[in-house]
Structures are given as structure tokens and as C-alpha cells.
Amino acid sequence: MRKLLTLFLIITVSMSVFAGDPARKGTSGAEQLLLPVGARSIATGQAFISHFSGIESIYYNPAGLDREGGTQAMFNYMNYIADIDLSYFAVSAQLEIGSVALSYKTLNFGDIPVTTVENPDGTGQLYSPDYFVIGLTYSKLITDRVSAGVNFNFIHEGIMNTSADGFAIDFGVQYRFTPNFSLGASVKNIGTNMVYSGENLKTKTTVPGSALGSGSTVYELDTEGYGIPSYFELSLAYTNEINESNSLSIGGVFRNNNSLEDAARVGVEYNFNDNFFLRGGYDFLLENSDQQIWGFTAGAGISYDFAQDMGLAFDYAFRDVKEFSTANHIFTLILRVY
């Protein structure tokens, strides 16, 4: 216990150097790293990073992956904002050395008309940005109380023939005081800066000061590098066993951001017989709360073992969006083979 608390303290102090700075808004990129996945977690306000386990925990706290055995596969779809869709797929397996997983997150922006200075109304061509994150996860249940995990992420952003790539690491731990009371911490998106380069940044022009008729040359524009949105989260969660068939879980998370205001989340989940679930949550900024575009969350889910060694879960989540006409709707399907 002393070693675990020391680790939490080291993580918290190291992240406090970079975190919670509203003045840095707009200075980071790779915002797809901040887009949540998993209807169960989103419906509960993303507040259970210390409590949830299995394949859905990869994004929030990889320490939870090894707390569920067997092989799992997850597909997640979310209609985001401005006609952007998010798709996420992950598969995991438990081995003797721990659990490993592969994940893939991608954004679909649809077709966008190509415009130029000469053709501001469009050239007749279309393009679609190519944004994705590929993750490799390792998680280990160290004792019956302590688990740890790490994600290695490759980040890609592409716009026509111009792109930027980067790498990031997530690290998380979970500690169970009792089976129903848990503490968790995670550090997310610690990695490299990203810089755009490519053919679309090249331009053909006459060399300044050259003799008449000397022709033109090709320059590639230099672009400014940008960091990725790192943050630290600390969470507590508790489950109250009402009786053999009913339980109620409540969780909370504090998030320390490096380029936004600090944030907090709370969530609740009602569980009936491990088959039917009702969920709710709320996400709020600790400063400039009037600038928060996300509101309350809610959702429901069902889980059913249709064979002795196989189960299926389907979850839905609703997330209120204050500055857009449509809310987020999230659908998640998880297949488990025990």
C-alpha cells in the first residue's frame, strides 16, 4: 500500500508541472485522443477509471484490462459533432504474462470540397481527412488488489497529401481496498510533438532577386509543431450491494489537464442481476464552467451469457452537447469468450 501511494504521489507531482493551464487553450492538437469510447463509460460520465475492468477500460485506465479473463472484442460507434463519426475497435486476450490488446480509433469527416484561391467555390474535387490512433496495450494483475497497465499509441493525422505522426504512452494503476471500494490513477498522452509535412505544403514560385527569365523553384513551407493533450486523472468508486440482485455504484474523477481547465466528473450505475444496467453522469470544468460544451450523460445496457463460455453486452449512451444542435449517441457491442 505504501509503495502504491508513493507512486500516485510521484505521478501527481510530475503532472502538476504541465497541467491545468487555461492560457494554453488551442496550443495542442491531436484532439482525437480526447474523444471517449465505450457507451458504459460515457454514460457514467467517464467517472469509473478505478472501477471498470475488461476491454472497455483500455482507453480510460489500461490497468483494468487484466481484471477480466478470456478473450474480448469491442466495437464502438459515436456520431460526434459537425457530421463527424467516430469508430473504435479493440480485441484483447489474457495470457500467462498478463493481458494484451490491440485497438484502432478512426474519425470519418465525410467528403469535403477542395477549394483554392482561384476556385473559392470548389474545384469539383473532394477529399476526406484521415485521422486515426492505433494502440497496443499490456496489463497485469499484480496482486488481488493491485493492477497496472500501459498503452502505446501511434497517432496519425492526414489531410490530402499532408500528414503528421506522433507517439504517446498511457499508464494506469488500480487499487482495490475491498472488492467494492477502489482507487485508480492514470496518466494519458505523454509523447512526442507533431509536425505537418507533405506535398501539399510545397509551392512553386520565382526566387526573389533572381535575374529575369531564370525560372522558378519549389519551396516547402515550414509548419509549427504542436504538442498533444496530456492529462492526469485520479478516481474513487464504491459499489453498494443492496441485495443479491441489485447494486448501485457511484464514482468520481478529478482530471488535471495540461492545456485546458481542470475538470471533474461524477457518475452512477444501477445493476440488476448483472444483466440490466441504468447509468447517468455529469462532466464539469472547475474554472470557466460556462465554457463547457458537454452536459449530462445517461444510458442503459444489457449483458447476457448465451453459452457457458461466451457472453455478449450491448450498451447505449447519450451525451448532451450545449453548443451544437445534435447530441452524441454512442453504441457499443462487446463479445466475451471466457
How do residues 252-282 score in pLDDT, each as one tens digit? 999 998 888 889 999 999 999 999 999 999 9
CB of 228 closer than 8 Å to CB of 194: yes
Task: Please tell me the least confidently modeled range out of 34-48, 167-181, 198-212, 283-297.
Answer: 198-212
The mean pLDDT of 132-153, rounded to a whole number, is 95
In this predicted structure, the answer to whether residue 97 has a pLDDT above a threshold of 80 is yes
How do residues 180-222 score in pLDDT, each as one tens digit? 999 999 999 999 999 999 888 887 777 776 666 666 777 778 8
Give CA torsion, residues 121, 126, 127, 128, to 10 deg. 100
Strands 263-272 and 276-285: antiparallel
Distance of CA 246 to the CA centre of its chain: 30
Per-residue confidence at 323, pLDDT binned at 50, 70, 90? confident
In this predicted structure, the answer to whether residue 6 has a pLDDT above a threshold of 60 is no
Could you tell me which residue, 76 or 116, shows the higher pLDDT? 76
Per-residue confidence at 17, pLDDT binned at 50, 70, 90? very low
Per-residue confidence at 302, pLDDT binned at 50, 70, 90? very high
The burial of 229, by beta-carbon neighbours within 10 Å (0-12 exposed, 13-18 middle, 19 or more buried), is given as buried
HSE toward the beta carbon, residue 11, CA cutoff 13 A? 23
- Taken in order 16, 20, 23, 27, the sign of the CA dihedral is positive
Residue 10, helix vs strand vs coil: helix
Reported pTM: 0.88
**What are the residues facing 134 on neighbouring strands?**
104, 154
How far apart are alpha carbons 262 and 334 in whole angstroms? 32
Largest CA distance in the chain: 89
The architecture in CATH of the region 2-293 reads Beta Barrel (2.40)
Q: To 5 degrees, how large is the angle CA 234–CA 285–CA 32?
A: 75
| Identity of residue 75 | F
How far apart are alpha carbons 171 and 169 in whole angstroms? 7
Closest CA to 36 of 205, 283, 251: 283
Q: What is the pLDDT of residue 281?
A: 97
In this predicted structure, the answer to whether residue 312 has a pLDDT above a threshold of 80 is yes
Closest CA to 175 of 199, 143, 153: 143
